[in-house]
Structure 1
Amino acid sequence: MPVIAALLAAAIFIIDTFSSLDMAIAVLYVVVVLLSATYSDRRGLLVIAGLCVGLTILSFLIMHADDVDVGSTMRALVSISAITVTTLLCLENQAATQSLRAQADLLDLTHDGIFVRDMADTVQYWSHGAEQLYGWSRQEALGQPASALLRTIFPVPAEEIRAELLAAGRWEGELLHTRKSGEKVAVMSRWSLQRDERGRPLAVMETNSDITGRRQAENALHQTRTELAHVTRVTMMGELTASIAHEVNQPLAAVVTNGEACLRWLGRAEPDVGEARASVERMIANGRRASEVVARLRALARRDEPEKFPVDLNEMIDEVLPLLERERAAQGVVLDLALGEKLPPALGDRVQLQQVVLNLALNAVQAMAAVPEARRRLFVCTRAEEGSDRPGLLIEVRDSGPGVDAANLSRLFDAFYSTKKDGMGMGLSISRSIIEAHGGRICAICPEEGGMLFTITLPATGDAPAQASRPREALT
């Protein structure tokens, strides 16, 4: 380019000086200035422009030193003015180009992949970060359709994203791109819309941050949590199996007893069909109860999310009480039962709620082993929550045991913390997780009269009351 500019300047000087053409040949020096602007800096361009002006003046003096006229003088002034104006415009363009180049260099400093595409989705700018992120060089990416190049997978239809971009001027979301190597990469993408002076969409600058590692970590964490939830449920099942499994023997023994009774009623000289029928009905009921116990154990071990249905808390507690019978009788604990009147049902998983109540009641019975037998009383109460805008249901389990030190009260629901010598420390922690998953809460306090009081609060469904009045009763 410098050689071409020099040859062109020499040719213009010769023609302007030695030809008889009556025109402003020196105006063509602007071509030399424009060519020089592509490779010269500011100072070099000024020097070249000065040489062009000097050649114009020198040619004028050679041709018209003896006979200066107005026409030739005006042609020389027009040529000098054209060279000057062109030089100033080139200098301004160089300054703007340098400013843009400096800004582009700043964009290349970031590790994010930044590129600019026009409204036809054609890549106009491709940063160094984009080269590192996607693997395509700037020369390979420029002029290519961005979506086709990156094989973009959008979270929603692309038309919806485009509409939001045009309306708000920006868009942000997660995209899935493909590198040059074929590897998938998840990015957090931020789009900014550029408009012209008339407000028409001109281009889109897209900034993409690689979140593939974070997404993989989140997926791994979710998987770990799922596995941990399964392990904790199985752990809880193992802790309660010793207390529940023997209950399977009770309905089976009852089946055998009622079967023998049925045979005796039928073996009389005059068979008592009514008593035999009643024995068979009790056999069926106990057989179903054994099946339900097994179903509860299987439900604790399944990975499936529990389904929630309306649960009558009083009936649910009635089903739990037989599971406590042997432990309570062995410890000589009196059961004081107070079930609320006309309570609406709660929404939840019946098996999991039974698991919580059973765990609290078993803990209470075992905690009273250290107090005199005459003082061993277990209180189980259900009632409606008072003083709340939203209907709530309360389940209270209270014992007359030694209680817990105030310093350790806040740790009761921590995993692996137990006040029992052979305890695993998982029961209360899992119980709290179950209640919180049902939208409720569980808390423990030490009443002034001694023992422990656990209170479960559950949201009610707002349906009609599930039952009539239930009397308060004490069972020995």
Structure 2
Amino acid sequence: MSEIFPSESCQVNECSQSMSQIPQAKPQEALQPKQAQCNSVIGESMKGNTHINSEISQNQVYLQQSIEFAPIAIAIFDQQMRYLACSRKWLEEYHLKDDIIGRCHYEIFTDISPEWQQIHQRCLAGAIEQCDEDPFPRANGSLNWVSWSIHPWYEASGEIGGITIFSENITQRKQTETAIQHNQDRYRSLVSAISQVVWVVPGDGNVIHDNPSWREFTGQTFEEFVGWGWLDVIHPDDRQLALETWETAVKTGNAYEVEYRLRRYDGEYRYMLMRGVPVLEADGSIREWIGICNDIHESKEAEFALRENNALLRSILENTPDFIVVKDCQGRHVALNSNLANFMGKSIQEIIGKDDTELLPLDTAREIMAKDQEVITTGKKLTYEEGFFDGEIYQTFLTAKVPWQDNHGNILGIIGTTRNISDRKQAELALKQSEERLRSLIEATSQIVWSTNAEGGFVTDQPQWRAFTGQTVAEIQGWGWLNKVHPEDQQYTSETWLAALANHTVYEAKTRIQRYDGEYRYMSVRGVPILATDGSICEWIGTHTDITEREEAEQELRRTLEILDSASDSIIIRDMDDRIMYWNRGAELLYGWAKEEVIGQYIHQFLQTVFPKSLEIVLSEFLEQGNWEGELHHTTRDGRHIIVASRWTLQRDAQGQTYTQLEINTDISDRKQAELALAQAKEAAEAANRTKSEFLANMNHELRTPLNGILGYAQILQRDPATTPKQQKGLSVIYQCGYHLLTLINDILDLSKLEVQKMDLYPQDFHFANFLTTTVEICRIKAEQKGIAFNHQTINLPTAVHADDKRLRQVLLNLLGNAVKFTDFGSVTFTVEAVGNEQTAHTPTTRIRFQIKDTGIGIPRDKWQSIFLPFEQAGKRDRNSEGTGLGLAISQQIVQMMGSSIQVESTPNQGSCFWFEVELPPADWLSQPTSNNRKVIGYQGNPRKILVIDDRSENRAVVVGMLAPLGFKLAQADDGQTGLDLALQMRPDLIITDVMMSTMNGLEMTRRLRQLPDFALTPIIASPASLSQVDMQEALDAGCSSFFPKPLEFNGLLGELQRHLELHWIYDTPPADPVCSEVASTPQLVVPSPQELTTIYRAAQDGFMSDIQQEANRLKQLNSQYVPFANKLLELSQKFDDEAILNLLKPHI
């Protein structure tokens, strides 16, 4: 392309076709358009031909307008190349103004090349030159195409007047031609290489032509898909839709488009997009259909995945704990998640479309919107923290806002996310505090804490290292620390360090480091690699711990072990990781494993051990206490099961640090076998002893039954006024002897109860001083009878206490009785004192010490324990003493039940001292005076019927003998069944029944009676030959009204009858009876309260005259007004007149 205007290069280029000389008479030929077709008609007509009329019109106006408005660039020059005329297109193409007429072309374009000037001269000489396609590089790098031609024009005289230049920019045409050519090339490539199935069918839609691409994709033959066979490879679920859509398109002539699954040649169904367009005839009818089947399987699956991803995204947005919001450029809410809406206390619908000023306080809204506007203005992300106080807690939020942009990068608003980072802020604060504590710990620890770079060199100051070694900062840099390692340890240290570095493992070593004073100290070194995210080492952090003392101790230990190796016991030493360090000869002999086999091994890997409790608990106790002892069961190498007494001890160095575990095991298998045999023998002996005790308890019933008859009839005969004084004395002897026998039986029974663990304590409130007084007076009388002094001292005692007074008195009387019994000269001293006050879980208690000291025969030291065994006596058999030898044994066990034990100290021929201390809770006490008593001889009202049931006739006779004289009507039955039948017949007012009977026992009879409405309230008194609390409870549970054991005591029985039948007794005071007359003649007699009289009444029921005398003497000391009453009790007790005592007490109980 030739350069025309001066802003471009004036280099003449080779024309796309050769120059040719054109005859003068011929005008410029029109530029012919070119067409290109590809697949369908493409393009449009090019610009029309330009005709230049060679004939010069005389009409200048017409010529001027033709040139000016020509569609191409035209310029006419004279012989001097001055402009005569030009078209507007010329001015436009070459950026000229209309003032060029008359000016020289070379003046305007000063840089025209000589080559172009030669062309101009040739044309001025008559030549015609042209170029249809001339490439024209512009200064901006683009390429224009120009079609040009130069013609001379002639004067009327035939002379050449100048030249005319025609120039047309054909760049657009060339680009169109090039595009058409490219399209044609692409079409040919597309047809041969396209992966889609291209198809052509006739207008009626019936396939009649072969289609290679369809056959290649589906695997069908032409015969299989011709006609409508192509439907067979469409998925059955999609076939109807494909057919209906195709028939509709054929019918309507509209474009055909449908998605369905098409079966490929390999059997896989692929999603396909079928598109087809009709090709119309001139009359509008469809000539044929052209279309493609596009495989959209991957995009369809991507679409499904996108749907799932969108659903997942929606789920994440709704379930994320963050707040998410989208706002437009005006600050209006476009979208947000539920979390933010809930935080704002509104629904999403209430927020959408509103800005923050409509939702939040104005100041807060302005602050938020200002940050939103900053993001919109700058187009940059903004992250900031903000606090929020809801009135209760302060929370911190982290907010990030980014521009919301469309696909073209236009900002539409902002997208914001807000996260509650309160927990993280708290964690950061905790981390900061933790780091501060760590720094403090490092500064305070006695260990050397250090850090190195990844290669193990010091790059920062290490104050603790320098303080220990005395090195300077410069000296420790890099591996300078190695200079302080003992020369003999340097190679080992380097190799160990490099191995840990290569393997990324913990560095552990034991080495000697030179201290600042020149002394080498043993160090335990441990370094931990700090890893980066890619697994590489960032740095090392570690410690040096001075273990010099421990190392020296281990060396000393090794020397000691040489000595221990000869010990017969198994001695094993383990390190703190439980690996065996030492295994002596004793262990080899005991377990069967040689030392070489076990050193460095874990003992539990080869030695089977059974611990007395879980191993975790044993180890916990051991590490906490520093030692542990117990018995272990081991299985040796040869399969023997042995038992060892094992003692474990933690070994510590001078700083108290543990470094080894010492275990000493002694084989006690033989001893354990002996202990087992002894235990079995002991168990057999205890079983025999229990059998004996149970036999004694069972015999109690048989022994008490005849005593019931003896004591019962003695009481009946004593009440008979016809008996003479001599007979009364004899009856009294019978009664006392029988009662003494009953006491012995009770002792034996108590022992049997203790042995079978059936004795119980029944504490109650009682007056402590009165209790002690009565106890003292009983023993004082016996002491005075022997002519020895009896001393009694009390110190700081409470007024009343809560305890089993009967059992406590039993113990004291036994100890005091023994003291009096075995003392012939001197004295007996009884001291009771409070030795301390304590507060238990429920009540305050007073610790009371009871001490009995005598000047008697004494007890050898080797007898101090045996005297508390059953049937042992604290004296010689030839002494004039009575008893079973059970008293101390029973007393000791009773005191042990009270939580203490009886202690003894004694010197033969000088005396003994017995004492014990018990906790006695204090109790409140209130005394009340009562009136005197009279003797019962009958009762008021109608006769009462009493049914007596007992399988022993003598027992029934005792009851009849006691009650018949008082006016009761009595009936008898010898077993429960007979008693049940008789009760139904006579309807008794009260029933007295034995418990153990043949045919039907008393408890079963009671249960059956209680099931009958008529006997629901009938009093039933159980009267067994047993004192067992269990028997009493069983009787009450069966329905008995009360429990009154044999032997029967007359006055006690009257009390039971009065209580149940609400009787009013008739009394008789015979004038001949000195007791009654004496009571009657003492109108001012003051009687203690019923609580005070209860103990005396029980003693009278049991025939314990000594107890009655003790209580009488206590009453004297308690209140001077009680002296007359107490003297009466003493008088009657000395006569063993229990009936008179009971008659005296009964009205006041």
Q: Which structure is higher in RCO with an 8 Å CA cutoff and minimum separation 6?
A: 1
**Where is the strand percentage greater, Structure 1 or Structure 2?**
2
TM-score by length of 1: 0.44
If you compute each CA radius of gyration, which structure gives the higher value, 1 or 2?
2
**Where is the helix percentage greater, Structure 1 or Structure 2?**
1
